[in-house]
């Protein structure tokens, strides 16, 4: 449904896979048409108005919880609406994930990201695999721009080849929705980053071990909206005990913080 089929003939599929294996990410400009992105944005506006008020707090994050205009993240959209389920599962996105991981995949999460103007916080440098707790770390994240995104509004930045260099140490951050960041990220890392400004419908795909981050939104008026897709390879085993324990800590911390306000 949401896919320019002509973009993926067998020749460029193998080129895309080659680049993904080598660099740890690929950039597919114009993956969705303007019309398709408009349809998603329309649906998202409706969803935010009608469904978000009833969603549990661990699926809805605001920069300022007293101001709905500062919505920054939604989790598991596919569980709330068949429209979003159809984007994550049995879709052309899923097919690409299977090609790039070389195995069947399971759609785990469809997320909405925004960085509201002026107050949208930076995304700390991290490797998704640290959050996923998988063995082997066979997983993929896709990030699709829903509007123009540039360095001022906080585009995604990758470190090429970092997926081949192991897991870096992570520690707690103060960023809601990205609670863990690389603790020894230094000048050398900053200098190796490649920024990816994007227009609506451009798709970025990275491996779970690829280091990435994004700046905050420094613009006075522009938002920075995107969809995030997470797929696990079927060979990847989740350490469920560690994951549930971690989720429990996060929920408790959030409840305590909110009750202190």
Ligand X SMILES: O=C(O)CCC(=O)C(=O)O
**Between the CA of residue 220 and those of 118, 153, 231, what are the distances in Å?**
5, 9, 34
3-state helix, strand, coil in the chain (%, to 5): 40, 25, 35
Closest to ligand X by CB, 47 or 231: 231
- The C-alpha atoms of residue 229 and residue 142 are separated, in whole angstroms, by 5
Name the nearest CA neighbour of 208 among 191, 179, 187, 229.
229
Closest to ligand X by CB, 78 or 212: 212
CA 224 to chain centre: 13
Closest to ligand X by CB, 25 or 80: 25
Closest to ligand X by CB, 16 or 155: 155
CB of 63 to ligand X, least distance (A): 13
Closest to ligand X by CB, 25 or 143: 143
Spatial contact of 204 and 143, defined as CB atoms under 8 Å apart: yes
CB of 114 to ligand X, least distance (A): 9
CB of 14 to ligand X, least distance (A): 26
149 DSSP 8-state letter: B
List residues near ligand X by CB under 6 A.
113, 123, 128, 141, 143, 156, 212, 214, 226, 228
Q: Is the dihedral of CA 152, 153, 159, 165 positive or negative?
A: positive
Closest to ligand X by CB, 116 or 228: 228
Strand extents, DSSP E, 58-179: 60-62, 71-74, 105-113, 123-126, 134-135, 139-145, 156-159, 170-172
CB of 230 to ligand X, least distance (A): 8
CB of 178 to ligand X, least distance (A): 7
CB of 84 to ligand X, least distance (A): 16
CB of 215 to ligand X, least distance (A): 9
Which H or E run includes 191?
Answer: helix 187-192
Closest to ligand X by CB, 16 or 216: 216
Spatial contact of 214 and 122, defined as CB atoms under 8 Å apart: yes
């Amino acid at each position: 449904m949401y896919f320019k089929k002509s973009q993926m003939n067998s020749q460029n599929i193998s080129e895309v896979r080659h680049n993904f294996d080598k660099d740890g990410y690929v950039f597919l400009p114009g993956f969705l048409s303007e019309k398709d992105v408009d349809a998603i944005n329309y649906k998202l506006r409706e969803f935010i108005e009608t469904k978000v008020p009833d969603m549990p707090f661990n699926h809805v994050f605001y920069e300022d919880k007293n101001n709905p205009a500062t919505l920054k993240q939604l989790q598991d959209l596919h569980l709330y609406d068949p429209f979003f389920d159809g984007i994550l599962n049995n879709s052309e996105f899923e097919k690409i994930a299977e090609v790039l991981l070389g195995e069947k995949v399971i759609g785990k999460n469809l997320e909405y990201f925004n960085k509201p103007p002026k107050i949208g916080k930076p995304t700390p440098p991290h490797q998704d695999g640290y959050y996923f707790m998988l063995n082997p770390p066979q997983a993929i994240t896709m990030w699709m721009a829903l509007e123009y995104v540039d360095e001022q509004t906080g585009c995604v930045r990758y470190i090429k080849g970092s997926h081949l260099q192991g897991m870096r140490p992570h520690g707690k951050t103060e960023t809601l929705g990205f609670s863990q960041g690389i603790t020894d990220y230094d000048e050398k890392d900053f200098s190796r980053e490649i920024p990816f400004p994007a227009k609506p419908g451009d798709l970025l795909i990275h491996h779970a071990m690829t280091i990435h981050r994004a700046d905050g939104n420094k613009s006075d008026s522009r938002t920075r909206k995107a969809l995030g897709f997470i797929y696990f390879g079927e060979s990847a085993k989740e350490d469920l005990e560690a994951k549930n324990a971690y989720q429990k800590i996060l929920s408790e911390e959030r409840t305590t913080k909110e009750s202190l306000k």
